[in-house]
Amino acid sequence: MIPKVCDLLEVSVFDLSLQGIGVARWNEKVVFTPGLLPGETGIVRVTHSNQEACIAILVRQLNKSSFRHRPPCTLSKDCGGCTLQSINETGQVTWKQHHVMEVMRRVGKLDARLLPLIKTRTPFQYRNKALVPLERLSSGLLRAGFYQSSSHYIVNMDRCPLLDPRIDNLIAPIKADLETSSWPINIHGTGSGGLRHLSIKIGVKTGEVLITLISSHNDLMGIRDLAQNWMRRWPQVVGVCLNIQPNPNNIIVGNSTRVIAGRAWIIEQFCNLDLRITAETFFQVNTIQAERIVNLLVSILNASKGSKVLDAYCGVGTLSLPLAAAGAQVLGLELQQSSVIHAQLNAELNSLTSAKFKHVDVSEALSLYLSNSDALILDPPRKGLHPSALTQIIDTPLPQIAYLSCNPSTLARDLKLLTLNKRFELTFIQPIDFFPQTTHVECLAILNSA
CA atoms within 13 A on the CB side of 107: 15
Nearest-angstrom CA–CA distance, 108 and 94: 21
**How many angstroms separate the Cα of 265 from the Cα of each of 259, 274, 278, 342?**
9, 12, 4, 11
**406 tagged catalytic:** yes
Answer yes or no: is 379 a known binding residue: yes
| Other residues' Cβ atoms within 10 Å of the Cβ of residue 222 | 11
| Other residues' Cβ atoms within 10 Å of the Cβ of residue 245 | 21
CA atoms within 13 A on the CB side of 3: 26
330 three-state secondary structure:
strand
Nearest-angstrom CA–CA distance, 438 and 442: 12
Answer yes or no: is 313 a known binding residue: yes
Nearest-angstrom CA–CA distance, 362 and 247: 28
Nearest-angstrom CA–CA distance, 36 and 388: 42
Answer yes or no: is 334 a known binding residue: yes
Burial call 122-158: b when 16+ CB within 10 Å, e when fewer: ebbebbbbbbbbbbbeeeeebbbbbebbeeeebbbbe
Catalytic member of 160, 241, 406, 443: 406
Q: Report DSSP state, residue 190.
A: -
Residues with active-site annotation: 406
- Per the annotation, binding residues for S-adenosyl-L-methionine are 284, 313, 334, 379
